A and B are shown apart, each in its own frame.
Chain A
Amino acid sequence: MTAGAASALRLHELAVRLGGRDVLRDVSLDVPMGSWTCVVGPNGAGKTTLLHACAGLVDRDGSVELFGRRIEEHRRRERARSVALVPQHPVIPEAMTVRRYVLLGRTPHVGPLGAEGRADVAAMDSALERLDLAWAADRRLDTLSGGELQRAVLARALAQESPLLLLDEPTTGLDLGHQVRVLELVDELRRQERLTVVSAMHDLTLAGRFSDRFVLLSGGRVVATGTRNEVLDAAVISEHFGASVQVIDEGDLGWAIVPSSRGSDHR
């Protein structure tokens, strides 16, 4: 396992059954430290389940290694100090203040019967600062806008100080400006805090702009991995998403995947 040393996350023949259905089959994957890997795929491909399996949150077969150690060898709190999850639809306790919510990220750092110390409060303050939420620390979560709420969830994950960050559709429900801003922020944090990011994303254009590695899941299997040009290829996308698309690559001007105009196939 020579590659193990440089991997943040390594999956080998991972399989997950949920409710009698194979949701993931034979998934093997190597996520280098410091990379941003994006999992793409049609609805029901198993993207969310894959992220949950990487965080040890679902029963599974095969192996998941975090930073060179099998996930089962981690104690729960130790595991949570290695990997943080930002779910697609976080449960928002509406009456909770932003401060208390972000402080929950410190749970794996505090003993079960202990109380948060100075280091925990400092980590919370710094996460609030980084995500421009210091002003809202005493606001209730139900008074925040969608974009602010998404930043609060990210702040909690950041306060967790786990080197591997799993983001499940981090831009759901955000307008275009906020989508770009959240992803730019994640990218900035990744560089500054030396995080490894694995995200599941629907928007292929945004995914293509921010991630450096891609995994295409379809029917619970990995059907392609590699760089943007290898995975986000018009023919591959068209086959697995059941929609005809075009890749527009204008170099420095931009890159996008757009649905083909009607009838373009016949021209």
Chain B
Amino acid sequence: MRRASSVAIGASVLVASIVVGILVGPVHISPSDVLRWAVSFGGATSVSDQDAAILANLRLPRVVVAALVGASLSASGAAYQAVFRNPLADPYLLGAAAGAGLGATISVAFGPSDAFAVTVPLAAFTGAIGGVGLAYSLGRSALGGRSATSLVLGGIAVASFLTAVQTFIQQQRSETLRQVYSWILGRLGTAGWDDVRIALPSVLLAVATLWTVRRLLDVIEVGDLEAESLGLNVGRLRTIVVVAASLATAAAVSVAGLIGFVGIIVPHTVRLLSGTSYRHVLPLSVLFGASFVILVDVLARTVVAPAEIPIGVITAFVGAPFFLLALRRSAGRLT
């Protein structure tokens, strides 16, 4: 598929997903009301106050947060896969998820319970960045290298350690178990404009950075030595990409909890559509990733309505087979 047309398709799918995300919900609001509300920028007098409030304060922020989370996780997944030259690399590699989990647990266990809406995202964000920073410095110093492998191994070590600390705190404070648990499964049910404000700056900065360096991600495919011989500063590019992708992941995790596999499912699907060049994979991952999480969230809130399935459960359900597919496709290369 040519690039222009695939980007056009990606953009159309995103628009359609946003429309579906706003239209679907436990309270029926007619499409014409939604349209009138939208073209008047929320000021239409013919739409009831209650409907307008549902659209403005519940559905729209939820769709926006889902789009930000999907774009972040997919773009980070594609970027990690590029700089680690590993098709199974995921935004949760490198201790981001474990760090976020620890941060969230600490804020639930020790923080003021009336301010969870703000403290949990902030603590998760700090934890995610801290986890990646720790993995990165461990990979560079203790494991003595700037190579992809030493970073990944650093991430695994840090993740195990942080998860152990988190479990310890959870056991000490068993009354917080349920709250931490619901966060770990991923949730968009409480998404509001506060979450948009927390996530948006990081997501924009990170996605713009990854978008800008997408051509150079192709150069890394020939390995560090050859990329260096082509004049690329591989160490610096890898640092920039890891920082940007981790920032996006931290933002996503902090507002939505742990939603796994998006960073595997979306980039791999995009590669089937548009080929393997990151010039196409990265922009399309942003567009399709945003659409994917919006639509999965629609599923999460309709399948067993009025109850909701944790969105992380659905992505894991779809994602596990995808992981196997990616593993199969890369098996030839790994052996």
A interface, CB within 8 angstroms of B: 52, 55, 57, 76-81, 83-85, 87, 90-97, 100-101, 104-105, 107-108, 110, 112-113, 115, 160
Contact = CB atoms under 8 A, between A and B. Distances in A.
Given A100-B277, A112-B216, A93 B221 contact: yes
B306 interface: no
B220 to A, nearest CB: 9
B231 A77 contact: yes
A97 B215 CA distance: 15
Interface in B107-137: none
Interface in B209-240: 212-213, 215-216, 218-219, 221-223, 225-233
Contact of A85 (B216, B229, B275, B333): B229
A96 B276 contact: yes
B218 A57 contact: no
B231 A91 contact: no
Interface of B: 212-213, 215-216, 218-219, 221-223, 225-233, 271, 275-277, 333
A81 B276 CA distance: 27
* Chain B facing A: main interface SS: helix
Contacts of B222: 90-93, 101, 104
B215 A115 contact: yes
Given A95-B276, A96-B276, A115-B215, A107 B231 contact: yes
A17 B96 CA distance: 36
Contacts of B221: 91, 93, 96
Q: Which residue of A83, A104, A110 has the most chain B CB atoms within 10 A of its CB atom?
A: A104
B231 A104 contact: no
Given A100-B277, A107-B230, A160-B230, A87 B219 contact: no
Contacts of A160: 230
Contacts of B226: 85, 87, 90-91
Contacts of B215: 110, 115
Contact of B231 (A92, A93, A95, A108): A108
B229 A55 contact: yes
Contact of A57 (B212, B228, B275): B228
B218 A100 contact: yes
Q: Which residue of B215, B216, B221, B229 has the most chain A CB atoms within 10 A of its CB atom?
A: B229
Contacts of B232: 76, 107
B230 A105 contact: yes
A108 B212 CA distance: 17
Given A52-B225, A91-B223, A79 B218 contact: no
Contact of B212 (A91, A101, A113): A113
B230 A108 contact: yes
Contacts of B276: 93, 95-96
Contact of A76 (B219, B225, B231, B275): B231
Nearest to B276: A95
Nearest to B230: A107
A80 B231 contact: yes
Contacts of B227: 107
Given A95-B276, A115-B215, A104 B230 contact: yes
B326 to A, nearest CB: 13
15 contacts: A52-B225, A57-B228, A76-B231, A76-B232, A77-B231, A81-B231, A87-B226, A91-B226, A93-B276, A96-B218, A100-B218, A101-B222, A107-B230, A107-B231, A115-B215
Contacts of A91: 221-223, 226
Q: Which residue of A78, A95, A110, A160 has the most chain B CB atoms within 10 A of its CB atom?
A: A95
Given A93-B221, A104-B222, A107-B219, A84 B333 contact: no
